Every structure is written in C-alpha cells, then in structure tokens.
A and B are shown apart, each in its own frame.
Chain A
Amino acid sequence: MEKIKDYIINLLPSGMVGVVIAIFENLFLNPNSDLSESILIYFIFGALIGTVSELAVSWTIYKTSSKLLSYLAVLLADGLSVFLLLMLLGTHQAYGWQAVLNIILITEILAFVIAYFSNQEYQNFNQSLESIKDNLKGRE
C-alpha cells in the first residue's frame, strides 16, 4: 500500500507538467484543441516519462554507479515505454510514423535532461558525504 502511495505521489508532479503543457497548447498554439482530452493525454505522457526516467536512473546508479549506463538506461526505458503508449493510442494510424518519431525524439531529450540532473544530484550527494567524512576523521 505504501509503495502504491509512493508511485501515485511521484506520478502527480510529472503528470501536472503535462497538464501545464496541454493548457499552454490550448491557450497559445491551438485554441481549437479539445482541452480535456489534451490534459488527459499529456498527463499520462508526463507521468510516464517522469516515473520511468526516475526509476531507470535510480536503479541503474544503484546497481552500477555508472553515469553512462544510467543515460543509456533512461533513454531505452523512456523510448520503449512511450513507443508502446503511442501504439496503444493508435498515434501511428492517426498521425503517421513521423509523428511517432517526433514524439519519441522529444521524449528522449526530456529523458536525457532528467538523467543529467539525477546524475548531478548523485555526484553532489557523494562529494558532500566525502567532505563531511574527511572533516570528521580530521577531528580524530
């Protein structure tokens, strides 16, 4: 139950980014778009990308401590999950394969950015840890 709650708590902020994009699109790019449908779709995409990215980076760093592998893992995980979602939504039938490729490309860029900031966080944590350990050992 705790794990389900965690997933939900993590999905929400990522999904809300999608909602903001949907509203932005409706206000400034395409006022004729169906706002509620856009909100739902973008929420799902945002939640999926955010959650999958975080899981992929965390797990890869945990297992390997490798920055490179964490980038590869997140690109693969996000690319695959978004591709499957697009197939489920029938995007290739409605808008063609070019649209699918474009969306996946945007996803990969977002995933890369998420991985970059996650790796920075990992580096900052461990540098601070070593610094504090040195200070404590120096006192002895």
Chain B
Amino acid sequence: MKLKLICSNSYQLLLKEFLEARNFQISEQAELALVENGQKIPEDVISLVFNPQQIDQLISFLENQLGNGAEQKEKNLQDHLIGQLDENYEIINYQDIILFEAQNSIIYARTKAKKYRLKEKLYQLEEELAAEGFIRINKSEIVNIIHIKEIVPWFNGRLLLKLDIKKEIEVSRSYAGDFKKYLGL
C-alpha cells in the first residue's frame, strides 16, 4: 500500500522506517497521507493528522492497526519508547535500553551505541517499566536487569553493578533494600 508523509524532517525518518518495515511504500502518488498537525492537509487524499507530541501513541496505534491480527492481540503492552537523537526521532525497543539516566533535568535512554533524549520523567519510567525488568537504583538512574552482567556487594550496604557495556554503576544504600527485594532476597 502507498502512503504519503507530510511532516517535519525530525519524524520523516522514523515514520518512513516504521512504515516500510510493514510493507508500506512511501510515495507522493499515494491516496492516504499521514500529516503532522500544523502542516497543510492535502485536499485530494485521505489524511490522518497526528500530534507530534504524541508520536509514541501514533506508533502504538499504527502497530495495533497494521500488525498481524493474531500477533498483535498478544501484544497488549507497548514495548518501545520514542527517543530523540540530535534532531531525529527513533523507536527504541525496551530490550535495547541498558539504563535511563537523569542529567540536568533531562532524561536519557542509553543503548549499546547511542544515547537518546526522552520526554518522559524518571518516576514515570520507573512506574511504567517495572514489569519489564527496569529498576531504580539511585536518584538519577534506572537500570535494565537484562543488561546487568554481575552484582558485587559493595562497601557499606551498597551494591556495584557491572553492566554488559563495560560500565559500572552503583546501587545507593537507600535503594539497595528495594533492589534486593526485587531479586527476591
């Protein structure tokens, strides 16, 4: 099926990749258009207008509508976030996220190769992703359990986490109790 994209460059790449992976062809001759709010709505095609502030909801909506019926019924939870890298937006799968970190009131999601800026707050991520294996370890970091290589009991009730990207982070004393509880200890 052919689809036209009318949006800013920041979202072009994200949506193009997403749609082409689902066998859509991006074309100016399409009869259906995805239009960013604020852009001119073409008169001769069917248009779906989206709000860029809620791009993640658009992606979820499209996934549910465009995916294989049987597969999508099982996929009740969203399994990705939308992150900003320079001026572009990309989909980040939960399993690729190693940790979330807060720096100067900005929240970043770190994968093996990249560091994305997110619009979510740390407390929101903590609440929403607890079931996905993400756990808060100190005031400014949430780690993905899957990417922890080793836990070392550290001095004075703290824990040192060795991650699989050759990085080490510390579970602070105040969060060590909850962390141990999460591990069932």
A interface residues, Cβ below 8 angstroms from B: 6-7, 9-10, 54-55, 58, 61-62, 65, 118, 121-122, 124-126, 128-129, 131-133, 136-137, 140
Task: Report Cα–Cα, A65/B153, bound state, in Å.
Answer: 11
Nearest CB of B to A131, in Å: 8
Task: Report Cα–Cα, A59/B180, bound state, in Å.
Answer: 20
* A6 and B155 within 8 A (CB): yes
B interface residues, Cβ below 8 angstroms from A: 95, 132-133, 145-146, 148, 150-156, 159-160, 180, 182-185
* B156 and A136 within 8 A (CB): no
* B150 and A126 within 8 A (CB): yes
Nearest CB of B to A31, in Å: 36
* B146 and A137 within 8 A (CB): yes
Task: Report Cα–Cα, A132/B131, bound state, in Å.
Answer: 11
Residues from chain A with Cβ under 8 Å of B155 in the complex: 6, 10, 54-55, 58
Pick the 10 closest A-B CB pairs, nearest first.
Answer: A128-B183, A125-B151, A6-B156, A10-B156, A136-B133, A62-B152, A121-B153, A58-B155, A58-B154, A128-B184
* 6 residue pairs from A and B, CB less than 8 Å apart: A54-B155, A58-B153, A58-B160, A125-B185, A129-B148, A132-B184
Residues from chain B with Cβ under 8 Å of A126 in the complex: 150-151
Nearest CB of B to A125, in Å: 4
Residues from chain A with Cβ under 8 Å of B156 in the complex: 6-7, 9-10, 54
Q: Which of A61, A133, A136, A140 contacts B153 (CB 8 A)?
A: A61
Task: Report Cα–Cα, A61/B155, bound state, in Å.
Answer: 12
Residues from chain A with Cβ under 8 Å of B148 in the complex: 129, 133
| Minimum CB distance partner of B153 in chain A | A121
| Minimum CB distance partner of B133 in chain A | A136
Task: Report Cα–Cα, A65/B152, bound state, in Å.
Answer: 9
Residues from chain A with Cβ under 8 Å of B154 in the complex: 58, 62
Q: Which of B155, B159, B160 has the most CB of A within 10 A?
A: B155
Nearest CB of B to A65, in Å: 7
Task: Report Cα–Cα, A80/B16, bound state, in Å.
Answer: 66
Task: Report Cα–Cα, A106/B163, bound state, in Å.
Answer: 38
* B145 and A129 within 8 A (CB): yes
Task: Report Cα–Cα, A136/B150, bound state, in Å.
Answer: 17
| Minimum CB distance partner of A5 in chain B | B156
Residues from chain A with Cβ under 8 Å of B151 in the complex: 122, 125-126, 129
Q: Which of A61, A122, A132 contacts B183 (CB 8 A)?
A: A132
Residues from chain B with Cβ under 8 Å of A132 in the complex: 133, 145, 182-184
| Minimum CB distance partner of A65 in chain B | B150
Residues from chain B with Cβ under 8 Å of A65 in the complex: 150
Residues from chain B with Cβ under 8 Å of A128 in the complex: 183-185
* B153 and A125 within 8 A (CB): yes
Residues from chain B with Cβ under 8 Å of A7 in the complex: 156
Task: Report Cα–Cα, A133/B144, bound state, in Å.
Answer: 10
Nearest CB of B to A135, in Å: 9
Q: Which of A62, A121, A125 has the most CB of B within 10 A?
A: A125
Residues from chain A with Cβ under 8 Å of B132 in the complex: 136
